[in-house]
Structure 1
Amino acid sequence: MRARLVVFPIKGRKWCFSRSVDPFASQTPSGVTPTTVRGLWKKLSSESKPINANAELLVDFISDKMNKAWTGLEKAPEGSVKNKIHGLGLKLLARVKPSEIFLKSISKEVTSIQVSYPLSLDPRLVRRRLRHIAVSGTILHKKYLIGSVTLLPLTSAFMVLPLPNIPFFWVLFRTYSHWRALQGSEQLLKLLPNQTDDADESNNNNKKPQSPTCVWLPSEDFNQLLREANEEELDEETIVEICKLFHLNKIDVLKYRNLV
């Protein structure tokens, strides 16, 4: 499956990295994740799979349960305890960094990427920026994953209280999120051309490195939008136009601009 990635400067030296959410790049559920504990145990015990594959199945099972629980909170009546928990969850989710959301969007099913960026940008710089976010993601999310796993037994102690164990479920979500971001970082590194390709291109400007896993698409339309905007910081109107042009999630893109 090919994913369409969009890269552009959004505020000063801050760049935005986002994945298109159009139908051609969207992820489709595999339909093999069991829905019950019995089904999960049967699938884990009946099939001979590597430990990594079983871990993936377990994570997908937990993720499915978390998504269903979140949907239930979202549909809770206004003013109820579940509704208030949902509001708290939204505030916590707003603190998740956009780079983490971007890396999570690159699943193991992605076998190639198409990178769109303004024509005015140096393609080697775009590649280096993408490689940097992938390398830093493998380091940061591995560290945060270990920290979140360490906190899980501690927060599970709150289960004895007659209230929803919000700390436990939040740490569980963060564990899952860092797991997916780490996988996305590693997958992105596999798909990007290596550093020797940049050196080859700088030595021979007439020959650009080609990769079966990565296609580079500089956009003149992108350039036109940036020319009409403030060079130091893109206004919301321009960001909305970019999101429409490349089918991006506006909320995630605005997070990059609002980062302190």
Structure 2
Amino acid sequence: MSSVRKTIRSMRILALPLARPKIPPEAVSNPNAIYNPNRMLIYYHFHLIPSSTSGTQENGQSRIKQLMTRASTKAAGVWAGFGKAPEGTWKLKTYEYGERLVDRIDFEELALKSVDPSLGPSIPHPDVTGQKLEDLQEGSNIEKSQDNHISLIYPPSVYTSLTTTAASQLTHPCIIHLRALLTTRIPRHRRGFWAWMIIAPFTAPFMLIPVIPNLPFFFCVWRSWSHYRAYRASQYLSSLLDRNLIVPKPSEELDSLYLAHSSTLRTSPKTPSSTPLPFDSDPPLNSDGSILSSSTPPPADETNAAANSSQRLLLTRKSIPAILELFGLPSTAGADMYRAFEQVRGRIGGNTGR
């Protein structure tokens, strides 16, 4: 049990809100849509801190797990080699095109697929064992002490004044948002896994092209594998939420960073008033993390729409290095945050719920 406790302590989740919900709410046919403009856009960074149990866990991995890890490492090395190829070669062109494709993948998927359930507490998934979480034997339960909790670090000023409906008034808004994200992502990644797996065999004719490898096949396999990892991670995190192992933890340091770097975004020269838009102006939330619907239609004037979009942003690109320094994150995490920020800017620039 002590090894499980140390493993859980080695994991933390950073909740970085990037944009507010749309005000007034936009009418959407499906409130659980992946791109619901009435839901706050949050980037979650799942940080696995090296612990003393890492070596023990690696030695206990199954042979299949070891082979998969080696294959992933080998593939990553080959891909990195493409990026170092001479200018004008097909390898470098393939690498540049591939990186552009990665930039178009939902940042939520990229974040989820970075989660390795084997590094966290061992929790069986209901769809694998056939058991419900509450029916598991008492001996397999993880002790619910403070040491066993995974911290969900968040800026408190972004959430302080958010009110919820009666059905979720006992649940913190940051937990509501995380659960809503996982609820919408699980079916999406399950469908994505099977769709790309079915498409892969149809790329066989490309094997007849000499010299150049069957890139379409490898792309289909990679996309299927990416969806699978995000799917399993979503299930795993949902299980942790069901067991109340993920607990909110406010960070005053992160909150100060938000206040410092969002000051230029909280006012807009296109609005009649120059009063900054406070963090506590967010509307009440439904149990799924979206804001309560309103009969007021969205503004038709393009100028007002642009102003509303600019005021929805909570961070700037300049704040990302400060976040990396605050939590001691690697530069690779910064690349993911920049990608998420750019995608959020694109979504609030006119995309609707789908």
Tell me the TM-score range normalised by the shorter chain.
0.7 to 0.9
Structure 1 segment 222-241 matched on structure 2, within 5 A: 222-228=254-260, 229=262, 230-231=265-266, 232=311, 233=313, 234-241=315-322
TM-score (norm 1): 0.75
3-state DSSP of counterpart to 1:172: helix
Give the one of 199, 208, 214 matched to 1:165: 214
Measured on the aligned residues, the alpha-carbon RMSD in Å equals 2.8
C-alpha deviation, 1:61, in angstroms:
5.3
Alignment-derived partner of residue 4 in structure 1: 12
C-alpha deviation, 1:147, in angstroms:
0.3
Residue 16 in structure 1 maps to residue 43 in structure 2? yes
Query: 2: CA distance between counterparts of 1:156 and 1:69?
Result: 21
Alignment-derived partner of residue 84 in structure 2: 75
Amino-acid identity (%): 27
Letter in 2 for 1:91: R
Distance verdict in 2 for CA 1:242–1:61, change over 3 Å: closer
C-alpha deviation, 1:114, in angstroms:
2.0
Alignment-derived partner of residue 253 in structure 2: 221
C-alpha deviation, 1:4, in angstroms:
1.4
C-alpha deviation, 1:31, in angstroms:
6.8
Deviation by residue 1:187-210 (Cα, 9 ceiling, x = unmatched):
11011146xxxxxxxxxxxxxxxx
3-state DSSP of counterpart to 1:20: strand
Query: 1: CA distance between counterparts of 2:93 and 2:58?
Result: 33
TM-score (norm 2): 0.56
Corresponding residue pairs, total: 223
Residue 90 in structure 1 maps to residue 99 in structure 2? yes
Q: Which runs of 5+ in 2 are unaligned?
A: 1-6, 22-40, 122-148, 161-170, 267-310, 348-354
Contact 2:174 2:248 in 1 (8 A): no
C-alpha deviation, 1:177, in angstroms:
0.5
Alignment-derived partner of residue 239 in structure 2: 190
Letter in 1 for 2:178: L
C-alpha deviation, 1:175, in angstroms:
0.9
C-alpha deviation, 1:254, in angstroms:
2.4
3-state DSSP of counterpart to 2:172: helix
Contact 2:172 2:248 in 1 (8 A): no
3-state DSSP of counterpart to 2:193: helix
Deviation by residue 1:3-38 (Cα, 9 ceiling, x = unmatched):
21111321233222122365469x88937889xxxx
Query: 2: CA distance between counterparts of 1:104 and 1:151?
Result: 21
Structure 1 segments, 4+ long, off by >6 Å, are 31-34
Alignment-derived partner of residue 225 in structure 2: 176
Alignment-derived partner of residue 175 in structure 2: 127
Query: 2: CA distance between counterparts of 1:115 and 1:57?
Result: 30
3-state DSSP of counterpart to 2:104: coil
Name whichever of 213-222 and 165-174 sits farther off: 213-222
C-alpha deviation, 1:221, in angstroms:
1.1
Alignment-derived partner of residue 338 in structure 2: 254
In terms of fraction of residues, the more helix-rich structure is: 1
3-state DSSP of counterpart to 2:98: helix
Alignment-derived partner of residue 205 in structure 1: none
Q: Which runs of 5+ in 1 are unaligned?
A: 35-42, 44-53, 195-210
Contact 2:11 2:49 in 1 (8 A): no
C-alpha deviation, 1:226, in angstroms:
1.5
Contact 2:324 2:334 in 1 (8 A): yes
Query: 2: CA distance between counterparts of 1:60 and 1:147?
Result: 24
C-alpha deviation, 1:81, in angstroms:
2.1
Query: 2: CA distance between counterparts of 1:131 and 1:16?
Result: 13
3-state DSSP of counterpart to 1:115: strand
C-alpha deviation, 1:240, in angstroms:
2.4
Distance verdict in 2 for CA 1:31–1:100, change over 3 Å: farther
Query: 2: CA distance between counterparts of 1:89 and 1:31?
Result: 34
Contact 1:20 1:246 in 2 (8 A): no
C-alpha deviation, 1:258, in angstroms:
2.0
Contact 1:114 1:215 in 2 (8 A): yes
